[in-house]
Structure 1
């Protein structure tokens, strides 16, 4: 197993039933008692966010789910319908309705963000800028309007040079003396 080992594997082995949900037959699916076929990101609606940047994005399907794939939301709703019908009523909605509900109840970070805005493209969360001020300006790169200067370390300069190589190719790279 390449995906997990040690304590995690020991915990899984203690389970009565281990179910994996994935769009490919991963090592985790191989190890599972049951593997459920999830749709790829091309086949479903989803609300996407990451700790790497302060934006939300609506993932939208470009093709219908292939074969017998059902969305994770559908799977949860159907399992609840069979296990605890009383709780299943909380999932009596479409995926888009669930995303709207998450946006409405997500607190100050999602205040004013609507499904309609997300359908147009990524939307910035209502969070502080990386300098910790209240300006909410995503454009801060190397300096801040309040006068704070962002200091680049040697490692960051090297990383910037490497990103230029990947963007423009080795022939016009700063590593060859060109900027």
Structure 2
């Protein structure tokens, strides 16, 4: 696995995460990763490496914290509605966040860009090392975590009050990353 640095992280984050998307990492401080994931979602922790995050609300405003933020009502128990997926599936889900409905066929020029987008997603997930665990709220993973996530059904265990939301949680021994997209209509 290729080691990444702040430059490759920033480049990859900029390529995949734009307006109305969320990508942030925080320190893992507990054996149970869920409280740490919640801290990242609610921006109560800084990136332990000092690297950038992408957190803008739909419409381009800065991501709000508190009860009105997209993750404002999330509790650690909500993470029970996530499903373990292998790294390959997690990378595919990161790519599908490019589409408003989190489907590969909605990404412009997907067939021509699939390899590039997947490589960028692998770079982001590479930060978490070989032993990282990945979770998603894509309901397809409940039955089969090895499903082709580029061609999955569009059902999700929502974390927010938006019409739909989808994402990946990356967990290593030292860090927790949250990568999420939101559909507002």
The TM-score, its normalising length taken from structure 1, stands at: 0.21
The TM-score, its normalising length taken from structure 2, stands at: 0.21
Of the two, which has the highest radius of gyration? 1
More strand by share: 2
More helix by share: 1
